[in-house]
Amino acid sequence: QVQLQESGPGLVKPSQTLSLTCTVSGGSISSGDYYWTWIRQPPGKGLEWIGYIYYSGSTYYNPSLKSRVTISLDTSKNQFSLKLSSVTAADTAVYYCVREGYYPDTNWFDPWGQGTLVTVSS
C-alpha cells in the first residue's frame, strides 16, 4: 500500500523560499501511472491544488502560483519536492503531497500524505 509523508521546516520567514519533500513508500515514483501532486489548505479554509510532476519530469502548475512554484523529483530516493518562493503570510497552510492517477478515468487524489503545517512568520 502506497504511503506518502511530507517533511520540511514548519516555519519560514516572509520573502524566503518554502521547501518541502514528500517521501513515497510502498510504490515507485517512477511509475507512469501517476502524477505526484502538492495541495495546500490554509487554516480553517478549503483546498488549493498547487501542481504536479510526472515521472518523466514534466510539470504543470496552478497559474495562480506558477511564477513562484517549482516541483521536482528524485527517483533515487523515491521523493518529490516543492519549492515556493517569495512567501507571505498568505502561504501559511497545511501542505499535502498526494498521488493522482495518470489516466483520464483515474484522475482522483488518493492517497494523501498526513500533511505538514508551514507557517510564514518573522
Instruction: Give the Cα separation of 14 and 53 in Å (integer).
Output: 26
Is 114 a binder of another protein (CB under 8 A)? yes
Place of cell 489516466: 103
The answer to whether 63 contacts another protein (rule: CB under 8 A) is: yes
Question: CA-CA distance, 52 to 54, in Å (whole number)?
Answer: 7
- From the CB of 117, what's the least distance to another protein, in Å? 10
State yes or no: residue 62 binds another protein (CB under 8 A). Answer: yes
85's grid cell: 518562493
- Identify which range of 22-30, 73-81, 85-93, 108-116 contacts another protein by CB under 8 A: 108-116
Q: Is 102 in the site for another protein (CB under 8 A)?
A: no
Shortest Å distance, C-beta 103 to another protein: 11
109 near another protein (CB under 8 A): yes
* Radius of gyration, alpha carbons of the chain: 14
CB of 68 or CB of 112, closer to another protein:
112
Considering only residues 15-54, where is the footprint of another protein by CB under 8 A? Answer: 46-49
Strand partners, 95: 40, 116
Whole-angstrom distance, CA of residue 119 vs CA of residue 11: 5
